[in-house]
Amino acid sequence: MNNILISGSSGSIASALIDQITHDHPNARIFALSQKQVSQTRENVINIHVDYLDEDTLQNSSQTISEHGSLDMILCTNGILHTDAFMPEKALRDLNASQMIETYQANTIVPSLIAKHFVPLLSRDQATHFAALSARVGSISDNRLGGWHSYRASKAALNMMVKNIAIEMKRKNPLSIAAGIHPGTVDSPLSLPFQKNIPEKQLFSPQQTAHYILKTLAGLTPEQSGQCFAWDGAEIKA
């Protein structure tokens, strides 16, 4: 791989992905998008500050990256489960519009806009990947507990967008793969309030997760494009 884009680069999983890719592909150039000011000091990492909901900044970033050639992989790690202002809803009575909007923006709209502006930069004559961090709870058929309404719905919507993205990518490159990836429960700020009852072996470090994500993507075929997969490569039904 020569050129790789990672969005949400200030997060725990993205940082671990940068480390893993740097180790596995020392000659690869990594474009690290972040809404925060990030100071990656590696020579192979180009930090790009963006406002994910400002398409002008995304378009400008796309133009900058295109000057370095086509992309081989896009890894979209953006997403939220909770913030300082709210936690996942336990019941319908907890729903409110502002929480739903913020959750959809982070989990569905931002990855979709990343795809809009950067998928056109993917190579058209070799295998390429677009991956977005999804979640098992975004599966409609697997939902037996309810709750977490905004998060579940936003991830289900993301999975539909991944399917749509896969269809468009295949029209231009039959070797392309788009996938949603459920990273498991990762020891990160996102999962911190919910780690109490997680068995130790089911709580992954960001480094473990990065390894699993890249291994899963490497094992997918173009025929599997558009689907959602768990960290171990198992398909998650819609």
Tokens of 109: 């709209």
Whole-number pLDDT of residue 171: 97
All structural domains of the chain, each given as residue ranges with its CATH number in brackets, are: 3-236 (3.40.50.720)
Are 11 and 199 contacting, i.e. CB atoms less than 8 angstroms apart? Answer: no
Q: pLDDT tens per residue, the chain (238 residues)?
A: 799 999 999 899 999 999 999 999 999 999 999 998 776 667 899 999 999 999 999 999 999 999 999 999 999 999 999 999 999 999 999 999 999 999 999 999 999 999 999 999 999 999 999 999 999 999 999 999 999 999 999 999 999 999 999 999 999 999 999 999 999 988 887 777 776 667 767 889 999 999 999 999 999 999 999 999 999 999 999 8
Whole-number pLDDT of residue 191: 73
Identify the residue whose tokens are 């995304």. Answer: 58
- Among 191, 203, 51, 181, which Cα is nearest to 114's? 51
Interior angle at CA 18, CA 200 and CA 23, nearest 5: 90
Identify the residue whose tokens are 């990343």. Answer: 114
| Terminal CA-CA length for the chain | 30
- Among 158, 159, 129, which Cα is nearest to 219's? 129
Interior angle at CA 17, CA 34 and CA 126, nearest 5: 95
Whole-number pLDDT of residue 201: 72
Interior angle at CA 146, CA 145 and CA 150, nearest 5: 140
**Average per-residue pLDDT for the chain:** 94
pLDDT tens figures, 127-178: 999 999 999 999 999 999 999 999 999 999 999 999 999 999 999 999 999 9
- Please state the pTM of the whole predicted model: 0.94
Whole-number pLDDT of residue 200: 66
Are 16 and 210 contacting, i.e. CB atoms less than 8 angstroms apart? Answer: yes
Are 76 and 7 contacting, i.e. CB atoms less than 8 angstroms apart? Answer: yes
